[in-house]
Amino acid sequence: MVPLRGLIFLCLLHLCVQGIQGVNTAVLAKMMQYFYDNVQPKTQSQTDAQYAIAIGVPPDQCTKEGSDIQTVFPQKDAKLVKEKLSKGEKCFLCTSSKVIATRPDSKTKEHSEHILLYPPLKSPMDELLKKTDKDSCVVFFNSPCVKTCIQSEDNILAGLSNWINQRKEGINAFIFQEIWQKDKKKDLQEEFLKINAVVPLYRCKKTSNGMACRKCVENNIMDPFCLPEKK
């Protein structure tokens, strides 16, 4: 699993009907920077650990540039989530904020995004959605690993569909930052389009000017920003 340098599990019209409003990528960048600064767990070598997180927030938190994520996910809550993740523990609505988060299961090798999305109808994501208004914004942050997340029997597409089928009127975003090192030489366009066909796909990554976020697909055309850099 590649380390993530940022996060939200987690929030993303093709196969499913999406919300009328879209996510403001400038606002998304501020949110992702906050998660990176306050939630990102570290490994023993102090590198960024892989994890997934999903949060339900009022729609303004995903659309209006003057919004502040700390008003709905304060630093004390973020600190608690980070502490749990750093210990290898799960956070399934462990704070008053509508947040679920986990790292991969070290015993079963189950990936973090799979843990949050499965089993459909009984998953941590389902519990989050029960506590989230229909018109809210749900963000899911993770780093897609194509072989396991999309191509294997343990792929997350059914889990993503379960999420969106419950929120056809809301704002949703699936966000990733890093690309798994073993996928960096692959053509990922087809696989990423499969995700975007279910839930809008975004990439947020650190640049020399700070955190930058973009929507990965417009009119079925993939933004190169979301693909591995060509050597």
Sorted by where each begins, the domain ranges of the chain are: 25-226
Residue 3 amino acid letter: P
Per-residue pLDDT of the chain (231 residues; tens, 9 = 90+): 434 333 333 333 222 333 335 899 999 999 999 999 999 998 888 788 899 999 999 999 999 999 999 999 999 999 999 999 999 999 999 999 999 999 999 899 898 999 999 999 999 999 999 999 988 999 999 866 665 566 666 688 999 999 999 998 889 999 998 876 666 666 688 888 999 999 999 999 988 888 999 999 999 999 999 988 776
DSSP code at position 69? G
pTM of the model as a whole? 0.86
Residue 102: phi and psi, rounded to 5, are -160, 160
User: Rounded to an integer, what distance in angstroms lies between the CA atom of residue 229 and that of residue 121?
Assistant: 37
Rounded to whole angstroms, the Cα distance separating 113 from 44 reads 22
CB 122 within 8 A of CB 157: no
